[in-house]
Each structure stands twice: as structure tokens, then as C-alpha cells.
């Protein structure tokens, strides 16, 4: 039993970092650059967590940032919690404002990602993902026994729910806190960060989406950033974008000053209109 639980936990972390490092900070935001071998090394555990086509995933996520918490956001809880949680997964086609040919041109150059995308047929892409995921567990069962296959399957399914939950929990302002004055509802939620290997520091992420580091303050544990930092020291990744707390705070001060200036200008305009 101990061996099973230990294997499950190891695979859970591997799959979770596949989403965080591979799908999210790597493909979706290009927060760092690396060889194709290293890229595939991290995309693989994300794909084996039932995350679907990397092109689909990255396109949806880039659209989320472009239209965050507006009616065009693919999964904002402002417009329905259940839809934001799982409803959006049932969409059979890309919405007109979500186009991989425009938003994920870099990923469409990769033949493996194009194959997994099934030429934009979302249902076929999801079906292929599930088929490959279950086939891999079948291979594990054949060579290593049902315990290894079951631990892998449970870890993959467990991780599948984390980004779905994050989309909702980390955009509900009463469930977390903000370090930075962003224009959206994103908040930091510590327990989501622990489950998602650093992704729960969501307000930090929305303050600087292109950063490979999400945990900005000392108590904000970001294990995925630790791994990226280690890979940088080993020369496995390069051109790593790293935002830091003090720089984001300086930017927030500038944004606040700009907002106040706009308010003053609007009030002056209204006073002049009244006087005339």
C-alpha cells in the first residue's frame, strides 16, 4: 500500500508539472525557451493527464488572457460557475474569436501537435486524447502490473480536475487575495497553489502572464518555478522570463497613477461642460 501511494504521489507531481511547466508556462506563454526534447518531456505528462491537444489547450488559454473576465472569456465564472468549470469543454467548435491559426501559429508548425489537434475537430481531438491515455495505461498494466497502471490512471484523473477548478476558484474574489491591482477578478489561493504546483498564485500570474515564476512573495511556494530554475542552471532552458515582486509593485504604482490621472481629466472635462 505504501509503495502504491508513493508512486501515485510521484506521478501526480509529474502530471501536474506537465500542465504547469509544459502546457502553461512553456507552450501557452513561452515564458522560457528550450530544445524540442525538453519541451516534449514536459508536454508528455500534461497530455497523459487527459489535457487534450496542446494547440487547443494553449489557444483557449491565450484567449482567456486576451478576453479575461469578459463575455468573450472561454471560462469566466462571472457568466456561470458550472459552465466555467466544465461546460466549456462541451464546445464542438472554436468560437469565432478563438482561432488557433491566429492565436497559436507557433504551435501549428509542430507536426506532432498538429496530429493531436485533429485538424481543429475538437471532439476528435478529445477522443484521441482519451484513447491514447487509456492505451498508455494498458501498456503499463501489461509490462508493470495493474497497480502501476491504476496509480498512473488515478494520478492523471486527479490532475485533470486541478486546472478546471482553478479556472473558477482563482477568479472568485472572495476566495483569495490580490497582490497586484489587475483589471480582472484573478486572486491568489494558497491551497490551489499547493495542488497545482504553483499555479494558484493566479493574481500574480495575471499581473505578468509571461513570467516563468508565479510565486512572488516568500510564502508563495512555487515548486514549478524551482524546477524551471534548476533546469536553467543545468542549461536545459534559456531566455527565462522572471518577473519579481518589486518590479510588479512599481508597475502597479504607475498604473494607479495613470488611472487617477484619467479620473482627474474626466472630472475636469465634466466641470468644464457644466460651466459652459
Specify the length of the chain in residues.
276
Report pLDDT for 249.
62
The number of distinct structural domains making up the chain is: 1
| Residue 43 falls inside a structural domain | yes
Domain, as residue range, for 41: 2-243
Report pLDDT for 183.
85
For cell 504547469, name the residue: 20
For 86-101, what is the mean pLDDT?
A: 92
For 180-195, what is the mean pLDDT?
A: 93
| Residue 270 falls inside a structural domain | no
| Residue 92 falls inside a structural domain | yes
What is the three-state SS of the chain? CHHHHHHHHHHHHHHHHHHHHHHHHHHHCCCCEECHHHHHHHHHHHHCCCCCCHHHHHHHHHHHHHCCCCCCCCCCHHHCHHHHHCHHHHCCCCCCCCCHHHHCHHHHCCHHHHHHHHHHCHHHHHHHHHHHHHHHHHHHHHHHCHHHHHHHHHHHHHHHHHHHHHHHHCCCHHHCECCCCCCCCCCECHHHHHHCCCCCEHHHHHHCCCCCCCCCCCCCCCHHHHHHHHHHHCCCEECCCCCCHHHHHHHHHHHHHHHHHHHHHHHHHHHHHHHC
For 62-77, what is the mean pLDDT?
A: 93
| Residue 258 falls inside a structural domain | no
- pLDDT for residue 250 is more than 70: no
Span of 16-30, 83-97, 108-122, 253-267 with lowest mean pLDDT: 253-267
| Residue 248 falls inside a structural domain | no
For 215-230, what is the mean pLDDT?
A: 95
* Whole-Å CA distances, 147 to 18, 46, 101, 110: 22, 21, 42, 35
For 118-123, what is the mean pLDDT?
A: 93
| Residue 177 falls inside a structural domain | yes
| Residue 65 falls inside a structural domain | yes
Report pLDDT for 257.
56
Report pLDDT for 252.
56
| Residue 256 falls inside a structural domain | no
Amino acid at each position: 500500500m505504501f509503495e502504491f501511494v508513493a508512486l501515485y504521489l510521484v506521478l501526480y507531481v509529474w502530471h501536474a508539472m506537465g500542465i504547469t511547466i509544459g502546457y502553461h508556462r512553456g507552450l501557452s506563454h513561452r515564458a522560457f525557451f528550450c530544445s524540442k526534447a525538453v519541451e516534449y518531456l514536459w508536454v508528455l505528462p500534461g497530455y497523459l493527464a487527459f489535457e487534450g491537444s496542446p494547440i487547443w489547450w494553449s489557444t483557449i488559454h491565450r484567449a482567456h488572457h486576451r478576453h479575461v473576465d469578459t463575455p468573450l472569456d472561454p471560462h469566466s465564472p462571472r457568466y456561470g460557475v458550472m459552465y466555467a468549470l466544465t461546460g466549456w469543454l462541451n464546445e464542438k467548435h472554436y468560437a469565432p474569436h478563438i482561432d488557433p491559426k491566429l492565436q497559436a501559429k507557433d504551435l501549428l508548425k509542430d507536426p506532432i501537435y498538429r496530429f493531436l489537434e485533429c485538424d481543429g475537430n475538437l471532439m476528435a481531438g478529445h477522443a484521441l486524447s482519451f484513447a491514447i491515455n487509456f492505451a498508455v495505461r494498458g501498456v503499463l498494466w501489461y509490462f508493470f502490473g495493474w497497480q502501476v497502471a491504476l496509480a498512473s490512471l488515478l494520478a492523471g484523473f486527479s490532475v485533470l480536475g486541478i486546472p478546471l477548478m482553478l479556472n473558477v476558484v482563482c477568479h472568485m474574489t472572495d476566495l483569495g487575495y490580490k497582490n497586484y491591482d489587475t483589471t480582472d477578478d484573478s486572486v491568489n489561493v494558497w491551497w490551489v497553489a499547493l495542488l497545482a504546483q504553483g499555479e494558484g498564485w493566479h493574481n500574480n500570474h495575471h499581473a505578468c502572464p509571461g513570467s516563468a515564476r508565479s510565486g512572488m512573495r516568500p510564502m508563495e511556494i512555487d515548486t514549478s518555478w524551482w524546477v524551471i530554475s534548476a533546469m536553467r542552471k543545468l542549461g536545459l532552458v534559456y531566455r527565462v522570463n522572471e518577473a519579481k515582486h518589486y518590479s510588479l509593485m512599481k508597475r502597479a504604482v504607475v498604473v494607479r497613477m495613470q488611472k487617477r490621472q484619467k479620473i482627474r481629466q474626466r472630472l475636469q472635462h465634466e466641470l468644464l461642460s457644466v460651466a459652459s
